[in-house]
Structure 1
Amino acid sequence: MSAEVRTAVPLAVMGYTILEQALADLEGTLDRVAAIGYQGVETYGLVEEYGPERVRRAAEAAGLAITSAHTPFPAGDGAEALLDVAEALGASTLVWSMEREEFDSPDAIWSGVERVNVAAENAARRGLTIGYHNHFAEFSQVFGGRQAYDVLLGLLDPRVVLELDAYWARMGGADPAEVLARLGDRVRLIHIKDGPAVSYEDDLMVPIGEGAMDWERILGTPSGLRWHIVELERLSVDTFDALERSYRHLVGLGVSQGSVAA
């Protein structure tokens, strides 16, 4: 077995990518994702429609692991209900983001972080983990020579793990490979998307490997990643065709691991 295969990270799909299809046919959609070779799914928008138990059964029947749940931070009213759902779903990590305006100043960051840290404490009591997912403001905003992302990391409860959205990090002016390298073991998940990397609001996504992102370099960076998660938004091509092309590219590079040969 080659070194590339041994070090490849399992490949999953972000639920938003297949949301329209899964809302029409949950089981059929997850079966189709698994047939391509994907090994997991990060849930988004499905529990509200089907309930956590059915989503969990459908993923298990398809042979897909639930990598994480993209769901609001369990803090304040409704926190325990969110954690109940995560447990029923079988999602050990709950991932969400702060709002763009919460990176307008260091004080705003601190105010937002309090919510995340409360969520981390609530989750820890259940044996669950909170993950933080970035957009672009974390990297585009700079205070006293420090990126807002670094300010954020210095304030977050150390139990909070990271889900790096490498495309949005690049849109914020960062080098995703450099970010991965310095995050070390704290970064567990990565969102993989591709496109022209020109406009946060307007970019159309393309299959992985057909846009501006150098995924061989990014995903070849040593890190703590446990899952590679393909997320394709605002596609101009068929979703499953894009997922197949993305799978072939990432598994073909040897950076991601699937269940079907590329």
Structure 2
Amino acid sequence: MARPLASVQLYTLAEQFSADMAGSLDRLAGLGLRNVEAFDFVRRPAEIRAALDSSGLAAPTGHAPLLSDELWTPDGSIPTPAPEVVFDAAAEIGMTTVIDPFVAPERWRTLEGVTDIAERLNTLADTAAGFGLTVGYHNHAQEFVASFDDQSAYERFVALTDPRVALELDLFWALTGGQDVVSLVERLGERLVAVHVKDGVTPATNPWEPGAPAFASSSLDQRHAGTADVPLADALRAATSLKYAVIEYDHAPGDVFDDIAASLAFLTDGGFVR
């Protein structure tokens, strides 16, 4: 088992972060966190870097769309400029890896679409290197709808990408996509450098199956790490090269800082992070 650093995806506290950036980061630091995963950072890198420095936090990873014109979320979209602008902002903040967090479901339904996603990220790996960065991809559940020769679209994508492309596996969404999460972690091996530590009652159907009803984050029954359906402990033990265990809630069940603290306690008390 690799013992990664604990982090938290700032999308979890998007409302609080937007209202009081410095105060939110101070509260995270007060919980014992030393790392965060940045979100919606391209339009304000200097402000975020100053707030991180003031709180004694670092953002080694961050989410921004590299393969789409905007970042989709269940609660709205965030426009994003060219990859070079993203990388420049990431470097200013001090990141090492920029992770694309969402590529539209229809692009994962054909082999041509999956191949295009992989080839684009491979090219961007070269561009990012010029900024001293690497690129990565974070899944939801649309990557597990289609399969090609008994291989999921996600794992075909992994096979087609340059080993420099980092993988961040959202364990909740992989389970929602019908995956044996522990086996998937084992198969990804050294390519898997980060996981999203997220638990909850998995939806009855994959929200990105063709014809599935639209959903919002508020419809998700998410819970503290280690208290619901996702085999987080076994998945973390199965990982061999993790650098970051990133706490995230798409829909925090209560006070967001208490919820983050509960999931952090799961990670620290279980000896899953260093």
TM-score scaled by length of structure 2: 0.85
- 5 Å-filtered alignment, 1:22-171, equals 22-48=17-43, 51-73=44-66, 78-96=82-100, 97-171=102-176
Letter of the 1:30 counterpart:
L
Of Structure 1 and Structure 2, which has the larger fraction of its residues in helix?
1
1:67 and 1:227 in contact (8 A); partners too: no
Q: CA RMSD, aligned part only?
A: 2.0
Matched with 2:268 is 251
Q: Percent identity?
A: 32
Q: CA deviation at 1:47?
A: 4.5
Q: What SS does structure 2 have at the residue aligned with 1:191? A: strand
1:166-223 alpha-carbon deviations (Å, 9 max, x no partner): 1111111112221111212211111111110124443221121222122211111132
Q: Could you tell me which runs of 5 or more consecutive residues in structure 2 were left unpaired when the two chains were aligned.
A: 70-80, 208-214
2:29 and 2:57 in contact (8 A); partners too: yes
Matched with 2:7 is 12
Distance in 1 separating the partners of 2:121 and 2:3 = 31
Matched with 2:180 is 175
Among candidates 256, 259, 264, match of residue 242 of structure 1: 259
1:185 aligns with 2:190: yes
Letter of the 1:105 counterpart:
T
Letter of the 1:67 counterpart:
P
Distance in 2 separating the partners of 1:55 and 1:74 = 23
2:125 and 2:165 in contact (8 A); partners too: yes
2:182 and 2:231 in contact (8 A); partners too: no
Matched with 2:75 is none
Distance 1:183 1:247, change over 3 A: same
- 5 Å-filtered alignment, 1:224-235, equals 224-235=241-252
Q: CA deviation at 1:46?
A: 4.3
Q: Could you tell me which runs of 5 or more consecutive residues in structure 1 were left unpaired when the two chains were aligned.
A: 258-262
1:130 and 1:161 in contact (8 A); partners too: yes
Distance 1:114 1:75, change over 3 A: farther
Q: What SS does structure 1 have at the residue aligned with 2:238? A: coil
Distance in 1 separating the partners of 2:17 and 2:245 = 20
